[in-house]
């Protein structure tokens, strides 16, 4: 059984360690934990590894956030991965910092990466792991907040939060979406 795990973010050093790139950070940790090494391939930084008999295709789109769907569609087709085996890791302003929400489907909630994936795939029916980044910013400063670096306090908490998000991915692959939602949507 094959799974496509997609971490959303923006390429370039100016975006490293920003809230909008939490998908990349979680995927980096997940891949490293399972000895996956990313290489730059078509539309994405890519790695492939096994997880208890399951084949994991992990991608970090290099198309920039707003064109993430192009990479998702390419790698789904390349490896013939069914939509039910796709999980997208994404930042979410509507969820308090550090909280995780895993969903089977849903709207893009104003997230440009999810919006493009839905446009390209012509469906909202794919799983997403939403990583809460909170919304502690002054009115009109949303873009600065999302593209801003983690605070010192947030950075220290990410040391435990990123491994927890990795556990959610592993649960999704090994136990399925329903049990994972029960465990992590608390």
CB 104 within 8 A of CB 144: no
Give the model's pLDDT for residue 141. 84
Question: In degrees rounded to 5, what are phi and psi of residue 3?
Answer: -130, 140
Q: How far is CA 151 from CA 31, 57, 131, 137, 148, in A?
A: 25, 31, 16, 12, 9
Give the model's pLDDT for residue 110. 85
Give the model's pLDDT for residue 61. 97
| pTM across the whole model | 0.96
**Residues in the chain with pLDDT < 70?**
none
CB 63 within 8 A of CB 70: yes
- Please report, for the domain that includes residue 46, its CATH number: 3.40.50.1470
Give the model's pLDDT for residue 137. 86
Give the model's pLDDT for residue 186. 79
Residue 36: which domain range? 2-184
Give the model's pLDDT for residue 161. 97
Number of domains in the chain: 1
By annotation, the residues acting in catalysis are 20
Q: How far is CA 60 from CA 70, 109, 138, in A?
A: 12, 21, 30
DSSP per position, 156-176: HHHHHHHHHHHHHHHHHHHH-
CB 49 within 8 A of CB 35: yes
């Amino acid at each position: 059984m094959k799974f496509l795990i997609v971490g959303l973010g923006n390429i370039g050093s100016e975006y490293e360690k920003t809230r909008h790139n939490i998908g990349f950070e979680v995927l980096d940790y997940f891949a490293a934990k399972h000895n996956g090494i990313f290489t730059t391939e078509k539309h994405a930084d890519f790695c492939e590894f096994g997880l208890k008999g399951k084949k994991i295709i992990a991608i970090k789109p290099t198309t920039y956030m707003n064109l993430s769907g192009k990479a998702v569609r390419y790698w789904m087709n390349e490896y013939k991965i069914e939509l039910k085996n796709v999980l997208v890791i994404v930042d979410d302003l509507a969820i308090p910092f550090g909280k995780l929400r895993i969903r089977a489907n849903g709207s893009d909630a104003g997230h440009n990466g999810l919006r493009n994936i839905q446009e390209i795939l012509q469906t909202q029916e794919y799983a997403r792991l939403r990583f809460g980044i909170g919304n502690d910013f002054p009115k009109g400063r949303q873009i600065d907040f999302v593209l801003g670096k983690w605070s010192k306090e947030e950075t220290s908490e990410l040391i435990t939060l990123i491994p927890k998000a990795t556990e959610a991915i592993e649960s999704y692959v090994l136990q399925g979406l329903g049990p994972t939602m029960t465990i992590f949507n608390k």
